[in-house]
Amino acid sequence: MPHVNRRTLSRDPSARVGSLAELVGIAHAVETEAIRRYRWLAQEMRRRDEAGTADAFEAMAEEEETHVAAVETWAEGLGTGVSRTADFRWRLPPDLAESWEAAVGSALLTPYRAYAIAVDNEERAFAFYSYLAAASDDPAIAREAEHLASEELRHAARLRTWRRAAWRREASRGRTARRPQTPKALAGFLAEREAAIAACHRQLAERLQALGDQESAALLAVLAAEAAARTEAGRIPEDQPACDAEDCRARRPVALLLAAQRPLEALCEDLEDLELSAPTEALQAMAQTFLADAIARIARIGRRLELIEGGQAIGGPGRTVPGNDR
């Protein structure tokens, strides 16, 4: 899930607004696209038997429906209609979909992390509208774009309240992760976790190799080596226990790749907890840095999952691995 530079866009949007009708169309597209994504994510979570997270995404879809209604009321007040969403969806910056796309491949989404994704999206929408306001030479367009930006901040504030409540609920259910209180303690904590992640990924790489999925095996072998390099010894300790999780013994590449994401996402949860509770800004910044790194590794596995689930052959050109279904 994305946590780096959350309040900005990765590059200037290509969209330029020439009229209030265009701005209305873009705003309507932003909100209706959010509804579509959240409904789909709710369906995905129910398919994985993650009812709590599905309910969180459904709640966010309902919240976005109120935003759509507000845009339509705003359009009526301006005396302009609302154009088809499809006419404007292509003009939205790809950053607005990035958090959703990361969520699709996530193996360990929780309601807290679902709401964190929603906060990300609202903050990116704020950045988008702020850019449109700054880029416009028309005072009326700039004024209305600034209003949309302020609305996105208001939406984000509400979602942050939901996010905090979800975090407290999850913490009250017994999440007892160690919370290092100093940079040195955090470094030691991370070294231990990386050793376990390296051992898990090496084991999964070997299993994928045996199943004939060479590309996935190569990816996890690289990730295992990267994790091993982050340990105190720079390698997997000799006495590091093998991963005994049931899903690490699966016989399907998709299941094995999801299993590879789980220890990374568990690490992300602990780092997110630390980010919220760190006693110093230095420790919080350190947690954010390591969190971004773990998320990037999850995304690399997610991209491989997308290729497999998109129907592309695995195991090399001209080869597929039987049983690659959920």
- The 10s digit of each residue's pLDDT in 269-326 is 888 888 878 888 889 888 888 988 888 888 888 888 878 876 544 444 333 333 343 3
Start-to-end Cα distance in the chain: 22
CA distance 195 to 298: 17
pLDDT at 64: 87
The model's pLDDT over 255-268, given as tens digits with 9 standing for 90+, comes to: 899 889 888 888 88
Most confident of 11-25, 81-95, 196-210: 196-210
The model's pLDDT over 26-84, given as tens digits with 9 standing for 90+, comes to: 888 888 888 888 898 788 778 767 788 788 889 888 988 998 898 888 888 877 766 65
pLDDT at 221: 95
Percentage of the residues of the chain whose pLDDT score is greater than 70? 73
CA distance 296 to 113: 16
The model's pLDDT over 210-242, given as tens digits with 9 standing for 90+, comes to: 999 999 999 999 999 999 998 876 666 665 566
pLDDT at 247 over 80: no
Which pLDDT band, with edges at 50, 70 and 90, does 3 fall under?
A: very low
CA distance 103 to 289: 20
Q: Which of 205, 112, 91 is nearest to 164 (CA)?
A: 112
Contact 110, 270 (CB under 8 A): no
Report the pLDDT averaged over residues 101-123: 72
pTM (two decimals): 0.51
Domains observed in the chain = 20-172 (1.20.1260.10), 183-309 (1.20.1260.10)
Q: Which element (helix H / strand E) includes 180?
A: none
pLDDT at 305: 83
CA distance 151 to 165: 22
CA 272 to chain centre: 13
pLDDT at 224: 94
pLDDT at 91 over 70: no
Q: Which of 12-16, 112-116, 155-159, 295-299 has the lowest mean pLDDT?
A: 12-16
Q: Which long-range contacts (CB under 8 A, 24 or more apart) does 98-102 make?
A: 98/2, 98/124, 99/1, 99/2, 99/124, 100/37, 100/41, 101/302, 102/1, 102/2, 102/295, 102/298, 102/299, 102/302
pLDDT at 205: 94
pLDDT at 160: 81
pLDDT at 77: 81
Q: Which of 221, 216, 226 is nearest to 304 (CA)?
A: 216
pLDDT at 172 over 70: no
